[in-house]
Copies of this chain bind each other. A is one copy, B any other.
Amino acid sequence: MRPLFHPAIEDVRPEAILHALADPARAAIFASITQAGCVQACSAVSSLGDRVIPRSSLSSHFKVLREAGLIRSERHGVEMRNHSRCAEVEARFPGLLSAIMNAYAGAKACEATVP
């Protein structure tokens, strides 16, 4: 099992962040990690809404988020702890993450009125 790679904050690319968050599943995972005080086990998000996500897919979603520079993952015993890097990303790209998360929240609220 190769060690986890985390890009330095100055190596983080906007296109990688956009690509990572362009998938609603990954955006939801990231939102969950960020809101839940920065720690969330991988298995804690095994399902998302009504959709069940296979473990291999979940693993690659976390990998995409990690390599985009959005989260930091560390093995802690048998489980993984994921921390949001939102403060770092905010410093490098001001307003980006909050605008994206607000956009998703807004769209969700909007479609909830007309299901």
Contacts and interface: CB of A to CB of B under 8 A. Distances in A.
B14 A107 contact: yes
Contact of A15 (B22, B93, B96, B98): B22
Q: How large is the interface on A (under 10, 10 to 19, 20 to 34, 35 or more residues)?
A: 20 to 34
Oligomeric state, in copies: 2
A94 interface: yes
Interface string A1-24: 000000000100111011101111
Majority DSSP secondary structure for residues of A touching B:
helix
Contact of A103 (B10, B96, B104): B96
Contacts of A36: none
22 contacts: A14-B27, A14-B104, A15-B22, A15-B23, A15-B27, A15-B104, A17-B103, A18-B18, A18-B19, A18-B21, A18-B22, A19-B19, A22-B22, A92-B106, A93-B103, A93-B107, A95-B95, A95-B99, A96-B100, A96-B102, A96-B103, A99-B99
